[in-house]
Amino acid sequence: MAMEYQHKQVLLVGLACLDIITVCGHFPIEDEDFRADDHYWQCGGNACNSAVVLQQLGDQCNLMACLSENCPQSDYILQKLTNIGIKSNWCIRHIGHKTPISTVLINKKNGSRTIMHYSWLPEITLDNFQNRVQFDNLDWIHFEGRRKNMLEIGRMMDYIRLRYKDRIKISVELEKKDENSLQLIPKADVIFIGKDFAQAFGHDNATDCLRAFYPLAQSPAIMICPWGDYGADGIGPPQSNIVHADALTLDVVVDTLAAGDTFLAGTIHSLRKGESLLKSISYGCKLAGTKCKQRGLMFEKIPTDH
């Protein structure tokens, strides 16, 4: 795969939404009336964000998400994706539904982001997946583990494994706790365990998280747990030892929105190239830290992975 990845494509399956972002000088107090510093729109959603970053790294990306039909907000998202070369023709458009929206408050004092999300669109089904996706040019499919759709995601992963065996790598992100989420771990080649997910199961650090969840994986899987300014831990073949990468040291934090999605994109990019697990999560941390020093996901200069 290390030599062939440039001729293949990545599919990301998950959320695309419109981020409506307001930048504040401080976090608001309830019922406060004050002037914001800035306000703008951008594409959002975990899968969509990771696709935007991967595309800039040179990976040809396809996005599969649910959007609204005859809706200017959905049209905005699709146009932005087209502008940077991301293919979105496998997205599902639903009539009579509103576009998913995230209203985001960014605190200029510390770069924190507070997100209020609205989405009542149907989720992607196995039938959608089978009938729309053309698998021949894919070598990696990533699933955003959405709480409302864990069982259907598991069916999609089973379908890939049955039809394509090891020809297509499968990765999954587990970010929010769900009773069916652990069933996805043995179905994936690469598993990203989010900090919130780990804490929901009682784990207060990345190392303990990997020790608890890695036995559920199917060898020779890789499991990765990013943990904010601690950095990230990973475990996988050949020795199945835990490796650690430090987070990038930051003097100033501008915007942490989608830092985790950026880490995921950088790590997948390096793994597709055939890099080691340690080098891959190190690059993910470097890229995520660089993102935190800027607004949004469009890089003026992409950090190298060496």
Can you give the pLDDT at residue 238?
86
Alpha carbon separation from 260 to 106, 160, 185 (Å, rounded) = 16, 26, 19
Report mean pLDDT in 10-residue bins for the chain, 306 residues: 70 98 94 94 97 98 97 96 98 94 94 92 97 97 95 98 96 94 98 97 98 96 98 94 97 94 99 97 98 95 84
Q: Both tokens of residue 38?
A: 């800035």
Can you give the pLDDT at residue 305?
78
Secondary structure class of 259 (helix, strand, coil)? helix
Can you give the pLDDT at residue 250?
94
Residue type, 69: E
Other beta carbons within 10 angstroms of residue 215's beta carbon come to: 9
What is the model's pTM? Answer: 0.95
Give the single-character DSSP code of 87: B
Alpha carbon separation from 168 to 1, 10, 31, 137, 144 (Å, rounded) = 10, 10, 51, 10, 16
Closest CA to 62 of 129, 158, 127, 4: 129
Q: Measure the N-to-C terminal CA separation of the chain; round to a whole number of Å.
A: 19
Give the single-character DSSP code of 104: E
Closest CA to 221 of 210, 209, 232: 210
Give the single-character DSSP code of 232: E
Closest CA to 11 of 56, 79, 65: 65
Euclidean distance between CA atoms 217 and 29, whole angstroms: 44
Can you give the pLDDT at residue 304?
86
Q: Which residues contact 303 (CB under 8 A, 6 or more apart)?
A: 283, 286, 287, 290
Task: Kindly list the structural domains of the chain, giving each domain's residue range(s) and its CATH number in brackets, ordered by start.
Answer: 5-15+46-96+122-292 (3.40.1190.20)
CA angle 47, 51, 52 (to 5 degrees): 120
Euclidean distance between CA atoms 66 and 144, whole angstroms: 13
- The label of the residue with tokens 């340690």 reads 278
Q: Both tokens of residue 270?
A: 């390096």
Can you give the pLDDT at residue 147?
87
